[in-house]
Amino acid sequence: MTREGPTVYTECSTIWNPIHTDIRVAHASGLPDIVVHGTETMARAVTAVLDDQDLGRWTVGRLATRCTGMGVPGETVTVHRTDPRPDPAGHVIGFRSTRSDGATVLQGSVELVPRG
């Protein structure tokens, strides 16, 4: 997670909350640093999960995530995914994102359905 990521994500997503961009506001809120958006963490995780999928054949049918912790710039967050499991309409890939201390910051699943 980069220091610039939350500011860029704020501007692109139009989700403005100063705990994501202003260290003084984050500290005044009792946070150790600015906080990476949960939706940015989700977008990065889903991108990693789908990186090697044949998206010419599949498209995302459903996405379900739950934020369970926070990430701050400079931390390494690793995405762990399960093998796709069959579903009547396509297949589902489960995933979780963990910080280097082992804490889970995001968990969820992506359902892929045939294109067309």
- State pLDDT tens for residues 53-99: 777 788 889 999 999 999 999 899 999 998 777 666 678 899 999 99
In terms of average pLDDT, the best of 2-16, 19-33, 38-52 is 19-33
Residue 104, amino acid: T
Cα separation of 80 and 92, whole Å?
A: 14
What does the pLDDT read at residue 8?
Answer: 92
With 80 as the cut, is the pLDDT of residue 102 above it? yes
With 90 as the cut, is the pLDDT of residue 17 above it? yes
Structural contact between residues 110 and 49, judged by C-beta atoms closer than 8 angstroms: yes
Please list the helix, strand and coil fractions of the chain in percent, rounded to the nearest 5, in that order: 25, 35, 40
Task: Please report which residue ranges of the chain form alpha helices under DSSP H.
Answer: 5-13, 23-28, 38-50
Tokens, residue 34 = 């600015």
Using a pLDDT cut of 90, give the percent of the chain over it: 66
pTM as predicted: 0.84
Cα separation of 81 and 83, whole Å?
A: 7
